[in-house]
């Protein structure tokens, strides 16, 4: 039996695929365009997406474990419900779902509330599941690197409470570990939630200071103007999504996105190594841009 990975060509999904292949798993991947997938040898590619029931029925053949990742899109919640209903119909019992930290608290943020709804469905449908709740992705910084370097300002309004930023490579590896654990278990294991956090809680000022250190010149924190943040995002994403991101950033300012007691240490034990740091991620990103 196989493990099916959705979102297989994205930031986290590709990491999950690579980690599963390294662990000897038989992997299937649901992708929109197989010609552009560029996945490792041995991965069985199925064309389709989460809004296509026929494609999902085909993808689920011979699958016993599902990694469910669906992006922030207008019908994200509907896609997840279709995927889970069809998984149950196909006899799939084991699921690892990529949610978001504080999904149960940031209920006014559309994509957080949607993911919490999916969590509740997973629980009520009786899946043997691990729900992964990552904090802010370090890879989000790829979208601002040119602005930081060009204008000397760190523009993300993340505030002064702190975010436990995590490297998506760590997310992918933890997801693969949980998938293999669920997949290999002789019996269904109880549902579990795991917050995925980085090693440090970083404020906007902290992030700007790290960029300053890496670039060896002063980078200022751009401040907490979420209205301007939304307007800027509207230049390259739909208005509904820009507003969603604004609401999220406002919760960063009011609440932060912090690691709880022992959460980072739990992940270090799970991985058997330290979590990757934000400074190292930024340094790698800048080095990659220069090469």
Extract long-range pairs of 73-76: CB within 8 Å, 24+ residues apart. 74/238, 74/240, 75/51, 76/111, 76/114, 76/115
Residue 277 belongs to some domain of the structure:
no
Q: Check which CATH number belongs to the domain holding 81 and give it.
A: 3.40.50.720
Q: What is the mean pLDDT of residues 96-106?
A: 97
Q: What is the pLDDT of residue 289?
A: 63
Residue 264 pLDDT > 50, yes or no?
yes
Residue 271 belongs to some domain of the structure:
no
Residue 69 belongs to some domain of the structure:
yes
Please, which residues have CB within 8 angstroms of residue 107's CB and are 6 or more apart in sequence?
Answer: 113, 116
- Mean pLDDT score of the chain: 96
Share of the chain above pLDDT 90, in %: 93
Distance CA 197, CA 285 (A): 20
Residue 245 belongs to some domain of the structure:
no
137 confidence band (pLDDT: 50, 70, 90): very high
Residue 78 belongs to some domain of the structure:
yes
291 confidence band (pLDDT: 50, 70, 90): very low
Q: What digits encode the pLDDT tens for the residues 188-224?
A: 889 999 999 999 999 999 999 999 999 999 999 999 9
Tell me the H-state helices in 163-291.
Answer: 168-184, 204-215, 226-233, 239-255, 263-271, 278-290
Task: Give bridge partners of residue 153 from the DSSP assignment.
Answer: 220
Residue 285 belongs to some domain of the structure:
no
Domain range holding 178? 2-135+167-196
Residue entry with tokens 């930081």: 148
Kindly state the DSSP code that residue 67 receives in the 8-state scheme. E
**Residue whose C-alpha is closest to residue 92's, from 129, 124, 48:** 129
Residue 253 belongs to some domain of the structure:
no
Residue 185 belongs to some domain of the structure:
yes
Q: What digits encode the pLDDT tens for the residues 6-61?
A: 999 999 999 999 999 999 999 999 999 998 888 998 999 999 999 999 999 999 99
Domain count, the chain: 1
């Amino acid at each position: 039996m196989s493990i099916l990975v959705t979102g297989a060509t994205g930031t986290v999904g590709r990491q999950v695929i690579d980690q599963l292949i390294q662990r000897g798993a038989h992997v299937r991947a649901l992708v929109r365009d197989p010609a552009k997938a560029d996945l490792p040898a041995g991965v069985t590619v199925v064309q389709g997406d989460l809004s296509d029931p026929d494609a999902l029925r085909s993808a689920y053949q011979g699958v016993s474990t599902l990694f469910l990742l669906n992006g922030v899109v207008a019908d994200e919640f509907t896609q997840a419900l279709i995927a889970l209903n069809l998984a149950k119909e196909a006899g799939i019992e084991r699921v690892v779902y990529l949610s978001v930290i504080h999904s149960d608290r940031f209920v006014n943020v559309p994509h957080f509330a949607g993911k919490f709804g999916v969590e509740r469905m997973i629980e009520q449908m009786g899946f043997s599941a691990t729900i992964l709740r990552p904090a802010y992705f370090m890879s989000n910084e790829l979208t601002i690197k040119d602005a930081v370097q060009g204008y000397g300002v760190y523009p993300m309004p993340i505030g002064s409470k702190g975010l436990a930023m995590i490297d998506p490579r760590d997310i992918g590896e933890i997801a693969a570990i949980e998938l293999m654990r669920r997949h290999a278990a002789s019996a269904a294991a109880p549902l579990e939630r795991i917050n995925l956090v980085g090693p440090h809680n970083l404020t906007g000022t902290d992030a700007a200071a790290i960029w300053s250190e890496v670039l060896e010149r002063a980078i200022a924190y751009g401040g907490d103007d979420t209205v301007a943040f939304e307007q800027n995002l509207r230049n390259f994403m739909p208005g509904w999504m820009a507003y969603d991101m604004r609401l999220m950033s406002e919760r960063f300012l009011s609440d932060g996105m912090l690691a709880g007691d022992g959460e980072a240490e739990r992940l270090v034990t799970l991985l058997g190594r330290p979590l990757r740091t934000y400074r190292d991620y930024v340094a790698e990103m800048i080095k990659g841009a220069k090469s």
